Amino acid sequence: MPNGMIVVVKCLQLDENSFKMLQTGAVILATPTRNAMKTIQRILELRLQKFATSVERDQEILLEKGLRRKLLAVQLRKGEKEVLLQTLERVKTWLKDEESENRPSKKPRHA
C-alpha cells in the first residue's frame, strides 16, 4: 500500500485539534490503521463502480478489431481497473489479517 495514500486518508480523518497539531510540527505516520484501510477500501470500491464495463469485458473488446483510439482507451481503462482491483485486494487482505490478529484466541485456558 503506498504510504502517501495512507497519510492522506489519515489526514482527512483528523479532528480539528489533531489537525492543529500538524501546524506545530507533528507528524502523521504512514502506519496503516483499520479506519484508514476501510476508508481506502470504500474509495476503491466506489471508483470501480464508476466504470461501465468490467475488466473481462474490456479484454473481450481488446480482442475485437476496431479503431486504434478505441483500443488505446480500453487498454488504459482496463489497466486502471486492474490497479484498483489489485490495490483493493491488498487492502482486504490487510484488513482480514488485522482482524484475525485482534480476534480473541479460542484456545482453552488451563487453570
DSSP state of 105: P
36 touches 9 (CB < 8 A):
yes
Residue type, 1: M
CATH of domain 3-97: 3.90.1420.10
88 touches 41 (CB < 8 A):
yes
DSSP state of 104: P
Task: For cell 469485458, name the residue.
Answer: 57
Q: φ, ψ for residue 54 (rounded to 5)? A: -90, 170
Per-residue pLDDT of the chain (111 residues; tens, 9 = 90+): 778 888 888 888 888 888 888 888 888 888 888 999 999 999 999 999 999 999 999 888 888 877 788 888 889 999 999 999 999 999 999 999 988 888 776 555 454
pTM of the model: 0.65
